[in-house]
Each structure stands twice: as C-alpha cells, then as structure tokens.
C-alpha cells in the first residue's frame, strides 16, 4: 500500500495568516492527490482533487500544488471557519490511502 | 441535491456481522460509484470498499475476507456487510460518492456510528 505522511500533525495560526500543509507519498502518485477538510463532528468534505483542482464551491483561498511524491495545501488569509482537520489522500492506486491528518487551530 | 445517508444498528456484538445501508438521492448509482470509509474515534480515515457505476467492486485487501459490498439500484442503496466484528471495528462509517477521478470522494454522508461491544 502507498503510505501518505502529512506534516505538521497540528498547526496553530492567526486569522489572516497563510498556512501550508505538506503531504509526502511513499512513491510517485502522478498528481492523483486529493485534500479533504473535516470540521469537528462532521464528515470530510472534498477541497481539491488531482493535486490542484478546486472542488465546486470551495473558496479560492484554498490551493493545492505538487507532483511526484510531494504535495501541499495552502490556505491564504485564514478564516475562523477554516478550523478543521485536513487530510490528504492518494487516489492513484488501490487501496486509496489517507495521511494521518493535520489539525488546524486558531492562535 | 446530492445526498447520502448511512443507516445501521449502532451496537454490534463481537464476532457478529455488521450490515450498513447507504441510501442516496440526487444521483444515480448507475452513473456514479460509492465508497465506504471508516474513522475510529479520534483517529484517521480508512478506506473500506467501493462499488463502481458498472457494478464492479473493490475492497481494502486488509479487510477483504470479511467484506461484501453490493447495491440495489431500484432502491438507490449501497449495502456493506462486514463479518467477524471485533472491538477495533468500532468507528464512524461513512459512505461517499466517487467523482473527479478514481477513488475521489466528492460528497459524503453524515456517518453511522458503530460500536462493537458485548
């Protein structure tokens, strides 16, 4: 199985700040990388697919980048509603696997 | 609009079989696939199984011997069965629609909580 390693595991940032979350795959996943946001007590929601494609309705302050084994999610101008856990997921090979998650809190 | 809703027993005894149903609306199971994903309390996400729009299935190899996924298109339902349940199967179980690439899950249900306990 492809292992997905996310960093950092937790992150504290101020409103208006820019934050970046990293995801490292154990092998090349050819940009088959999705990001999900999970708010407390809710189900995950798709933010980005194919590394940099924004899902419908997702604010443009979210962006994704990367290739090969290294990917990142950037959130510009952090808002209070962005407090969540973020997961990356490779969808290149079965079984699809998730990173361990990054818990984003407000400072 | 697109909706998915999980339903299940809530509490299952160890060694018994879990049956979960995902009822969808706003899309057709013959046009989109559906996956199951679970999340133990306070932990990360684990993909369980998928059934594709054509009816083919895929399973997490770590769980495959215990799983069965099927669908009833007339009822817009996807069914997941998992046997030989253990306490480590305690989790929130989500179903999700597949779209935007293989195994990309663009819409999720609210989840069904499953506790394995005697």
| 118 residues of chain B, pLDDT tens digit each | 999 999 999 999 999 999 999 999 999 999 999 999 999 999 999 999 999 999 999 999 999 999 999 999 999 999 999 999 999 999 999 999 998 778 999 999 999 999 999 9
Task: Give the integer Cα–Cα distance in Å for B4 and A87.
Answer: 21
Contact between B61 and A95 using a beta-carbon 8 Å cutoff: yes
> DSSP class of residue A55?
P
Q: How far apart are CA A84 and CA A15, in angstroms?
A: 14
Stretch A7-17: mean pLDDT, rounded?
A: 97
What SS3 string covers chain B? Answer: CCEEEEECCCEECCCCCEEEEEEEECCCCCCCEEEEEEECCCCCCEEEEEECCCCCEEECCCCHHHEEEEEECCCCEEEEEECCCCHHHCEEEEEEEECCCCCCEEEECCCEEEEECC
Cα separation, A13 vs A21, in Å, equals 12
Pick among A2, A96, A97, A100 to test the B interface (most B CBs inside 10 A)? A96
pLDDT at B101: 77
Q: Say if B90 is an interface residue toward chain A (CB within 8 Å).
A: no
Question: What is the per-residue pLDDT for B117?
Answer: 96
**Quick check: B37 and B48 in contact, CB under 8 A?**
yes
Q: How many Cβ pairs closer than 8 A exist between chain A and B?
A: 65
CB contact under 8 A, A34 and B101: yes
pLDDT of residue B100: 72
Nearest-angstrom CA–CA distance, A62 and B82: 37
Residue A17 has pLDDT above 90, yes or no: yes
For A56-93, the pLDDT digits (tens) are: 999 999 999 999 999 999 999 999 999 999 999 999 99
pLDDT of residue B102: 87
Q: How many angstroms separate the CA atoms of B81 and B68, rounded?
A: 5
CA distance A7 to A15: 20
- Per the prediction, chain A carries an average pLDDT of 97
Nearest Cβ partner for A43 among B44, B102, B109: B109
Task: Tell me the helix, strand and coil percentages in chain B, rounded to 5.
Answer: 5, 50, 45
Q: Is residue A22's pLDDT more than 80?
A: yes
Taking residues A88-102, report their average pLDDT: 97
Report the percent of chain A where pLDDT is more than 90: 100
Q: Which pLDDT score, from 0 to 100, does residue A1 have?
A: 96
Give yes or no for B106 touching A (CB within 8 A): yes
Query: What share of chain A has pLDDT > 70, as a percent?
Result: 100
Interface test with B, best of A1, A29, A32, A43 (most B CBs within 10 A): A43
Q: Are A23 and A71 in contact (CB under 8 A)?
A: yes
Angle at B47 between CA A30 and CA B35, to 5 degrees: 95
Identity of the residue in A44, A49, A99 whose CB atom sits nearest the CB atom of B100: A49
| Alpha-carbon distance B14 to nearest alpha carbon in chain A (angstroms) | 26
């Amino acid at each position: 199985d492809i292992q997905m390693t996310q960093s950092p595991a937790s992150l504290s940032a101020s409103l208006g700040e820019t934050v970046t979350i990293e995801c490292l795959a154990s092998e090349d996943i050819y940009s088959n990388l999705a990001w999900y946001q999970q708010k407390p007590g809710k189900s995950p929601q798709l933010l980005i697919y194919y590394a940099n494609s924004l899902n419908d309705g997702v604010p443009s302050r979210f962006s994704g980048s990367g290739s090969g084994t290294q990917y990142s999610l950037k959130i510009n101008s952090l808002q209070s509603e962005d407090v969540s856990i973020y997961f990356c997921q490779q969808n290149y090979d079965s079984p699809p696997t998730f990173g361990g998650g990054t818990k984003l809190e407000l400072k | 609009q697109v909706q998915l809703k999980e339903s299940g027993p809530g509490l299952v005894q160890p060694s018994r079989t879990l049956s979960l149903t995902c009822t969808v609306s706003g899309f057709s199971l013959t046009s989109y696939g559906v996956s199951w994903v679970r999340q133990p309390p306070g932990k990360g996400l684990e993909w369980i199984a998928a059934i594709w729009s054509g009816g083919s299935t895929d399973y997490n190899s770590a769980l495959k011997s215990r799983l069965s996924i099927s669908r009833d298109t007339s009822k817009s339902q996807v069914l997941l069965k998992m046997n030989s349940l253990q306490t480590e199967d305690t989790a929130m179980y989500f179903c999700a629609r597949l779209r935007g690439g293989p195994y990309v899950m663009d819409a999720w249900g609210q989840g069904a909580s499953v506790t394995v306990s005697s």
